[in-house]
Every structure is written in structure tokens, then in C-alpha cells.
Structure 1
Amino acid sequence: MKLKFLLLITFLALICCKREQKILSSDWTVISKRLEYKEENNTLLVKSGNYTYNFKKNQTPLKKIILLNASLVGYISELNAENLIIGVSSPEYIYSQKIQNLIRTGKIQNVGSDQKYDVEKIIALKPDAIFTNHIASFDNTYQLLKNNGIQVIFLDEYMEQNPLEKTAYIKLFGKLFGKDKEAETKYEGIKKNYNELKQLALKAKQKPVVLANEMYGDVWYLPGGKTSLANYIADANAQYVLKNNTEEKAVTMSFEDVFSKSAGVQYWINAGNHVSKKEMLSINPFYAKLDVFNKGKIYGVAGRERQKANDFFESGVVRSDLVLKDDIKIFHPELLPDYQLTYMKELE
């Protein structure tokens, strides 16, 4: 009787294990709270924000795509998948020289701008999918494209505030392009670099105070304390002026509000793409009242810029390790004596 009971327990345990394995095999791959995907019944399911997409087995890997946002270009370039792109909007904002060459030779078409897309051209190109951030004013255009059998995929990578989660979007592109292993390898490499740099930053003896962004008109859009910029500063072992703030978006402030928080600030980063402090003053003379402007160091994001295109908003979206490395070099130059800044540039 005892033997039968033990056999029954073993049998039930095996069934539970098999069931558990089956459940685990269908688990979602979670990139962030905004993005996840899984394969089920020969279908790739993707959840992005409020949208769900289904890709049948014969629909992937994608072979022809259109990008309507330059911020998504970095993922494609990192996977060496530029040959999949058949159309882009606002090509003047794309930094990649390889993509610019493909545009020049006609292999990638200009399909309009964020003011107006060339819907007829897009339909004629017959892309497997279009990738873009959702813009409500274009809902009618999106619907027209969908009515013509074109998959429009909305991604919210610009809303991600965890740097490595933003990097992890490369996994979805890898899955859609049949480059799963390559995407995973790229992500793990960037993650490893990022975490090693984060540990290196902890060796710094001082923790400088940091200000960020700039004024537009009479408003200073200061990144909230839970934004990606604030997370980069924290991971670089520095103190952000709004470190105790809980917003994941920019906080609007007057110059007086920022001035009241600027005492002791040693570094000012992401100060636009200005070429000099003199240029900054010509736009806003109030900056001269800030101690950091006169005694500290100011850095803009003009390290890799070509006319209207800026690589900080392209490859920098994926290469969170290089963005962090720039910040550490700025705040703790002694930790990276031989490193030259990638995206940032000091204003003289």
C-alpha cells in the first residue's frame, strides 16, 4: 500500500513537472512593462503598449521594412540589417552613413516626414511592416495603411526610463528579423559593459552635483528624478539636482526655480547641441547667472552630429553602455583616463 502511494506521488509529480515545463515554454519574453513577446501555435505574439500583433510563421523573418522614426534606426544598424530597410521618413535626421548611402543609391526611399507621409509610395513599396512611435494625429493614415494590408507596429522605446530595457528592444527586432542569437549576444555584451562601468563608477571618491537640459523660451524642461537621464547620472555615481523627484517625464520649471536648485552644481550635461557657451548666452543671457556656467563644466550632445542628424538619438538609444561611459568620463575622468567621449562634447 505504501509502495502504491509513493508511485502515485511520483506519477503526480511528473505530471506537474511536465505541465510546469509546458507553461514555462509559453511564457512571455518580457522586455519591459511596455513590451513583451512569445511564440505560440506557430505564431509570434507581440504586445507593445496597448497594441497586440500576430505574426504567422510564414510572415517572419521580415524582409522589407519602413522606419518612420530615426530613433529606431540604431537597433537596425546594431544588427547589421540595413538591407531590410526599403523606406524611411525625414532622412535628413538619420546619422548612419550606411543608410545615407543606401538612400543616395535609391535602395531606400524617402517616404515623407513627420508632417506628412507619402501614403501612395508606402503602399507601392509593399513593406512587410512599418515601425513607428504612435502619433495620434496620424491615426487616419495608420488606418489607411492597415486597410491596404500593411502591418503598422507602434513601439514606445522613447518612453523607457531604464537604460538597459531600452537597449533590450533589440531582442524584438532580432526575433522579427530571424537574428535572435545575434540580438541576444549584442544585448548581453552591452549589459555586461554597462554593469561593469556601473561598478567602476563606485570607485570614485567624490559624487558631483549635476544639472541637465536647457530652457526653451521661458521654460526649463528638467528631466524628472525617475527618467533615463536621472538613472544614467545615478549609475555614473553622481547626484542629480532632482534625484528625489519621482516623475518619469520632464518637469517644467522657470529659470528662478532651477537657479534655486543650482547651488553646488559642478556639471551641466545634455545642454542641447550648442557649439559654445557664447552661443548659449546669445539664446538665453540668464545662463550667466548660474555658477556652473561660469565655474563648472558644460557638455552638449554634439559629439557625433552631422547637419540635422545626431547619433546620440540613434545609436545612443541602443548603446546605453557608451552613454554611461560618457557620463563617467565627465564626472570621474580619473576612472577612464584614455577614453574619448562618444556622444558628449564639452562647450568652451
Structure 2
Amino acid sequence: MTKTTSYLSYIRTNNLKCIFLFLIIFNCKNKPKELPTEIVHGKTITLKYAKGFSVVDYNTYKIIDIKNPWPNTEKNYRYVLINKENAAKTSFLKNEYDGIITTPIEKVVVTSTTHIPALDLLNVENTLIGFPGIDYISSEKIRQRIDDGKVKELGKNEGLNTEILLELNPDVVVGFGIDGNNRSFEIIKKSGIPVIFNGDWVENSPLAKAEWIKFFGAIFNKEKEADSIFNKIEHNYLMAKKIAKNVKIQPTILSGAMHSDVWYLPNGTSTEAQLFKDANTHYLWKDTEGSGSLKLNFESVFVKAKDADIWLNPSNYSNLEILKNANNQHAMFKAFENKTVYSFTNTTGASGGVIYYELGMTRPDIVLKDLIKICHPELLQDYEPYFFKRLE
């Protein structure tokens, strides 16, 4: 081999090495970053009461964990929130996440009326494009969108009209359920639309439920607004509780009503019972425990509550006559005779939706003030109950 041939071979070999090295460097620079599975330097959003979710912010993305979307949940759900620009640069280990949600969210479907106030208060109601049971919505701003044809009817939560929903192609669906067996959600997820579960209703205190506005603050990038709104609700609630604390006389409270020979009423560890307690009343079943409502026979309820001062939340009966016609035994209580029976079912929106079912969870401060005014009329002199009305 001549020196010239040897020299040319050397150049070709080194050129190939350079090209190979260049390709390696180029590919490394352009290879999407993988989202780390372990979080090291994120900023956790402060939650004072809510236990069912957490949010950690890493500047370029957020991780939101849903810990208890329904009772006895067997797994936690984890989601990534990331803007479109950073999403294009990042690859994800999808088997480690239950959904990748790109922001900003411009189109959303929610599935419970309890989700509506957060959209309203955060001024993102214009993103709502679909809902199951639009007649139940009472928000004036969203009712206007419904009247303008901008929010589509999606049937029922347990059986969503997935054909219409997929045509709407929302950025995310905020779902809820009593268990994990909603086939509609599985169809939606398989189509590529993320479904994130909301478990506000599972929380065990009024303020914990209200704090889920921070969940919506996270997914809409409005954490500061959500924090400010919740702080005002918390302040109002604690101030009302303080006002009621010094009252010496606690009226006795009966709740619920008969259905098919069973009296349903809240147990002593429920959020309803906590509201009764914070209003400084004596709820007659305050010492009971359990999940869900108590189910008692008439005799046991009557013996304990026949002389109760006030009867709250007698199911969905809208006046005393209907309450009596449903079961003559209802008329045997002192509270019925004295017409001290109060319900929230008569406070409805333009299409008949019960406003309490929509707004009550987000605004426990208003609920508490209502109860204080009813049970201690001498307090809150200029206040008129918003949700609760005396049955006529």
C-alpha cells in the first residue's frame, strides 16, 4: 500500500468517525426529554383542609395526584399538566400517568354541578362546551352560554353521550363517579381525550370540599385567583362560626325524612353534621359515625326527635302539605306543628336546578350563615338566608 493510499484511507476513516459523532450529538440534542418519574425540586401548592388531591409545580409542568375520587379507591391517579410548547419537547412514560393534559385549556367538559361554581368564580366559564343534564345548571353566566347554544347536552354522567362528546373534542373531561366503573370514561380516554377525576364530594369537612377550587385553579393556571377566592370563603366561614360560638342556647335539630319506611339522615361525622355543630346547634345524632346516611325506622327517630326545635333538610319535599301527604307520621313532630321546618330545595335556578346542589359545596360560608340565622335569629341581624327557606 502506498503512502498516498494509506493517507486517503486514514482521512476516510476519520471523516466517518466525525460524521458518526456528529449524528450522535445531533440526535442527543433533538431527542425529547423524558419526564422524570421522581420529583425533586417542585413547589407544592398549599392545601389546608383537602386530602383528596395534591399539586406540585415544576415550572415547565405540574403533577396532580388524585388520591380518593370515590370511597374505597384502590389506586391513586396521577396526571401531568404541561403547556403545548413544552409538551412538544418532552416525551412521557405514559404507563406512569393516567393522563397528559396540555394547557391552556380552551375547551372543557365537566360532569357535576359542583364543578360549575369553580368555572364561574375563576372566570373560565367560556371554556365549558358540554355537560350531562344542562337543566340542572343554575349559574347565570353559563345559562346564557346554554341559551346561546354554546354548551351541548351530554345525557347522564353514568352514561355520557360519547358520540357528541368526541365530536366536541374537549381538551379535558373532569369526571366524577361513585366507583371506577364508568364505561363512558374508558371510551373517552381511548379516543385520546384525558379524563381527570374530581373527588370533592368525598372530603369530610365543608372547607375541605370548598378547597377543591384549587384543583381547578391548577388545571386552568389560575392558582393565585383560586387561593384568593378560597381564603375569602375560609375567612367568612370561620368568622360566622366564631359569632355562633358564644350563643348559650343550642336548639335541637332533626334532619332528613321518611322514604319507603326508612328515615334517612346524616351521620354525626358527615359534613352536614359538622355544619350543624359549627352553627352551635345540638344535632340529635351528633354522636353517630359511619359512611353515608343513617337509615333508621320511624319509631327510633320519633322517640328521639319528637320535640326537636328545628327540622332541617326534609328531603325534597317542597311544602308542609306534601311532606304530610308523603307520610302522615311526619306531622307528629313538634317542629312540624310549629312550622319550624326549613329546606333548600325551593331555591332554584332559571331551569329548575336546586342551587344548593351546585353552589353549596363551594360556598359553605353561605350555608353556615343560613343555619346560624335560622337557629339563632338574633344573630346576623341584616342577613337573609340564601339557600334555606321555611316550608309553607
Asked if these proteins are the same fold (TM beyond 0.5), I'd say: yes
Q: How big is each residue's C-alpha offset from its partner over 1:96-140, in whole Å with a ceiling of 9 and x where there is no partner?
A: 122122112111111222353211111111111111212548532
Q: 2:331 pairs with 271, 288, 292, which one? A: 288
Residue 89 of structure 1: how far off its partner (Å)? 0.9
Counterparts of 1:109 and 1:71, CA distance in 2: 18
**8 Å contact kept, 1:161–1:248:** no
**8 Å contact kept, 2:306–2:332:** no
What SS does structure 2 have at the residue aligned with 1:244?
A: coil
- TM-score between both structures, scaled by the size of structure 2: 0.79
**2:54 matched to 1:45?**
no
Counterparts of 2:329 and 2:226, CA distance in 1: 46
Residue 72 of structure 1: how far off its partner (Å)? 1.4
What SS does structure 2 have at the residue aligned with 1:317?
A: coil
- TM-score between both structures, scaled by the size of structure 1: 0.88
What is residue 226 of structure 2 aligned with on the other side? 183
Counterparts of 1:238 and 1:114, CA distance in 2: 36
Q: Percent identity between the aligned chains? A: 31
| Greater helix content | 1
**2:365 matched to 1:321?**
yes
Moved over 3 A (4+): 22-31, 135-138
Query: In the alignment, residue 378 of structure 2 is paired with which amino acid?
Result: E
- Which ranges of structure 1 fall in alignment gaps of 5 or more residues? 1-21
Residue 291 of structure 1: how far off its partner (Å)? 2.1
Residue 312 of structure 1: how far off its partner (Å)? 0.3
| 1:232/1:203 CA distance change after superposition, 3 Å | same
Counterparts of 2:233 and 2:344, CA distance in 1: 21
Counterparts of 1:83 and 1:199, CA distance in 2: 37
Q: How big is each residue's C-alpha offset from its partner over 1:201-243, in whole Å with a ceiling of 9 and x where there is no partner?
A: 0122311111112222211111110101000000001111111
Q: 2:142 pairs with 93, 99, 107, which one? A: 99
| 1:137/1:177 CA distance change after superposition, 3 Å | closer
Query: In the alignment, residue 155 of structure 1 is paired with which amino acid?
Result: N
Give 1:185-224 correspondences, 5 Å limit: 185-224=228-267
**2:205 matched to 1:162?**
yes
Q: 2:81 pairs with 55, 70, 86, which one? A: 55
- Which ranges of structure 2 fall in alignment gaps of 5 or more residues? 1-38, 69-75, 85-101
Counterparts of 2:358 and 2:330, CA distance in 1: 29
RMSD (CA atoms): 2.0
Counterparts of 1:184 and 1:138, CA distance in 2: 33
What is residue 172 of structure 2 aligned with on the other side? 129
Counterparts of 2:78 and 2:305, CA distance in 1: 44
Query: In the alignment, residue 61 of structure 2 is paired with which amino acid?
Result: T
What is residue 12 of structure 2 aligned with on the other side? none
| 1:218/1:224 CA distance change after superposition, 3 Å | same
Residue 296 of structure 1: how far off its partner (Å)? 5.6
Counterparts of 1:296 and 1:93, CA distance in 2: 29
What SS does structure 2 have at the residue aligned with 1:56?
A: strand
